Chains A and B, each alone.
Chain A
Amino acid sequence: MIEGATWRRWVFYNIPLILFVFVLLFPFYWMIITTFRPDGELYKPWNSVNYMPFWTNNPTFEHILYLFEETSFARWMFNTMFIALVSTLISLFCGVLAGYALARLNFPYAGGLGTAIFITYLVPQTLLFIPLAEIIRNFQLGDTPWALILTYPTFLIPFCTWLMMGYFKAIPKELEECARIDGASRWKAMVYIIIPVAVPGILSSGIIAFTLSWNEFIYALVFLSSPDQKTVPVGVTSELIRGDVFFWGPLMAGALLGSIPVAIVYSFFVEHYVSGLTGSVKG
């Protein structure tokens, strides 16, 4: 792009970009500042004098301590982590195998099955949660982590499969044929030759699947009931609001701490995340 004078660059590029970044990140700043602000400062009316909303001189850990002492927050973190990890592993296992079959094997109805996977990719969780709740109850899975571990793959597998198909299609056929000529079985060629080449794709799908299951809400809200079984988003919603009273300090502390695992995983694998995201919209 042909760059103009400095002032034009500021007006047309830098200032809009700074505004975008500010608006996109401000709620997180607000989360952090609320977490460390004492209650006395939090509940000051918005038009009172000497109100200093963007900073605090009396940082406190009382809200974080409240979370760990008065609620089962640590337990929710563990539940969410466990459910997200196991459902991600299940979905990766299924998605890699199915993606390989759909992208690299010739068999009847391959095209139809590919379309079916794409359609399930587009089924939102909110379409099926009521009948699914009944089914979970009939299977005696209600209020256990397995209710979520087994249902999260329904939206993760189609996604992983779709993404892996893209990666598998990009690997040249010759690679597999060489191995087959050297005497490897189809199974061995897949496990030892093709899947190792597709590791970046597996990482991408895994990270996105992990963030998606950490984000899931409606199934966790409907399928779990006892406080000790809940995930972070549901626990924060149901245990830190009593009637009309919002415990804003602990709420924001919970939101902040609950976001940290996802943020850490994301920060280590930004490039994989982005390539997965952009790969997922390639038709």
Chain B
Amino acid sequence: MAVTAVSGVGARPVPRLRRLEDERWLAMALLLPTAVLLGLFIAYPFFEGVLLSLKSTRVGQPGEFIGLKNFEKIWNDSIFRTTVWNTFWYTGVTTVFKLALGLWLAILLNRHFRGKALIRAFILLPFIIPTVLSTFAWKWMFDPTFSVINWTLFQLGIITQRINWLGDPDLAMTSIIIINIWRGVPFFAITLLAGLQTISPELHEAAAIDGARPWQRFWHVTWPLLMPVTLVVVLFSVIQTFADFQLVYVMTGGGPANATHLFATYAYQLGIGTGLLSEGAAISLAMFPFLFIIVVVQLLYIRRVETR
């Protein structure tokens, strides 16, 4: 049957539906809507973004071609340097904690106990509730005057003075890191739990019979077998965290005194807030080489682990 489409070529025009019998034509037809949307709203903006970053466009001013001047300018910008450092610090610290706590939670859930399904459903809530909305709850909890966290610490006798969580640069960064970990742990826990469940209990029993202690069983059996899932989860999380916007925008807006900016919030502040479209686009694009390196390194590593 598939032959008819091929033998029809040249003899007379092939009817459209018949043409779909050819795998190549069918594949092309099925991929067309995706290609159009992604081309129009990813490839084209990417191209436009590169052009924009090489010009001096502001809101209402088309500007002209100025080469790499925008990149030169942000390179010498001390706020941009803080931003780069913040983004790496934020991504690194949160990823380590999300992995450690997520794995711990996954191990706690990887048993049979009453109410397990319910608990699993509830702990995913921080991940599914819109980030902006749950971040507002945190902002209210960290409020300088009405903070419930301060109240608790005060009642426990740990502090006597209020802690101004979002007013101090280091504390503000720490607060943001805490919220990101809070939101990310459920994702790590649930995906790692799925990975844990694919590990046969017999392997653990065999190791136990050979005299392996629980810690040794974890390190030599569970951890290596969990590696492929862990790497993909970390890859996703690192990219999302590196490019994060919502959390910082709501909590500090990049403040106090531009101390907590990430790439995305600084790009927003310059590009949309101040109207320096080209500089904003340049800052956004500056993320690209870092993201690219992260993706390539991780994909290579994943391939190595999987073929081992």
Residues of A in contact with B (beta carbons under 8 Å apart): 1-2, 13, 16-17, 20-21, 23-25, 27-28, 30-31, 34, 42-47, 51, 53, 90, 93-95, 97-98, 100-102, 105-108, 110, 113, 117, 119-120, 122-135, 150-151, 153-154, 157-158, 161, 180, 185-187, 211, 214-215, 217-218, 221-222, 232-233, 236-237, 246, 248, 251-252, 254-255, 258-259, 262-263, 266-267, 270, 273-274, 277-278, 280-283
Give the complex CA separation of A153 and B36 in angstroms.
Answer: 11
Label chain A's interface by main secondary structure. helix
Distance (Å) between the CB of A257 and the closest chain B CB? Answer: 9
Q: Is the CB of A27 within 8 A of B138?
A: yes
Residue of A nearest to B22 (CB): A186
Bound together, the chains give a CA A157 to CA B30 distance in angstroms of 13
- What is the interface of chain B mostly: helix, strand, loop, or mixed? helix
Q: Contacts of A218 on B, CB cut-off 8 Å? A: 245-246, 264, 268
Contact call A251/B123, Cβ cutoff below 8 A: no
- Nearest CB of A to B110, in Å: 8
Q: A122 near B291 (CB under 8 angstroms)? A: yes
How many positions in chain B have a CB within 8 Å of any CB in the partner chain? 102
Question: How many Cβ-Cβ contacts under 8 Å join chain A to chain B?
Answer: 282
CB distance from A56 to the nearest CB of B (A): 13
Known: A217-B245, A255-B133, A277-B191. A283 touches B33 (CB 8 A): no
CB distance from B242 to the nearest CB of A (A): 8
Given contacts A187-B20, A266-B128, 18 further A-B contacts (CB under 8 A): A28-B129, A31-B134, A31-B137, A46-B146, A101-B30, A107-B28, A124-B239, A124-B240, A124-B264, A126-B284, A127-B288, A129-B267, A131-B46, A153-B41, A154-B42, A266-B124, A270-B117, A270-B120
Decide if A101 touches B125 in the complex (CB within 8 Å). no
In the complex, B304 has a CB within 8 A of chain A:
no
Chain B residues within an 8 Å CB radius of A97:
30-31, 33-34
The complex places the Cα of A15 from the Cα of B147 at a distance, in Å, of 26
Query: Once bound together, how far apart are the Cα atoms of A1 and B246, in whole Å?
Result: 41
Given A28-B137, A126-B287, A131 contacting B52 (CB threshold 8 A): yes
Residues of chain B lying within 8 A (CB to CB) of residue A217: 130-132, 245-246, 249
Residues of B that sit less than 8 Å from A by CB: 1, 17, 20-21, 23-24, 26-28, 30-31, 33-34, 37-38, 40-42, 44-46, 48-49, 52, 101, 104-105, 108-109, 111, 117, 119-126, 128-134, 136-138, 140-141, 143, 145-148, 150-151, 154, 162, 182, 185-187, 190-191, 194, 201, 204, 208, 228-229, 232-233, 235-236, 239-240, 242-246, 249-250, 263-264, 267-268, 271-272, 277, 280-281, 284-285, 287-288, 291, 295, 302, 306
Query: Known contacts A98-B34, A150-B41: does B111 contact A30 (CB below 8 Å)?
Result: no
B21 touches A185 (CB 8 A): yes
Residues of A within 8 A of B208 (CB): 2
Shortest CB-to-CB span from A202 to chain B, Å, is 15
Q: Give A115 Cβ to nearest chain B Cβ, in Å.
A: 9
Q: Is the CB of B52 within 8 A of A237?
A: no
Residues of B within 8 A of A125 (CB): 243, 245
Q: Is there contact, CB below 8 Å, between A101 and B26? A: yes
In the complex with contacts A20-B105, A47-B151, A128-B284, A251-B239 CB distance below 8 A: no
Distance (whole angstroms) from the CB of B212 to the closest CB of chain A? 12
A156 to B267, CA, bound (A): 23
**Chain A residues closer than 8 Å to B123, beta-carbon distance:** 20-21, 24-25
How far is A133 from B130 in the complex, measured between Cα atoms in Å?
22
**A278 and B285 contacting across the interface, CB-CB below 8 Å:** no
Contact (Cβ within 8 A) A161 B23: no
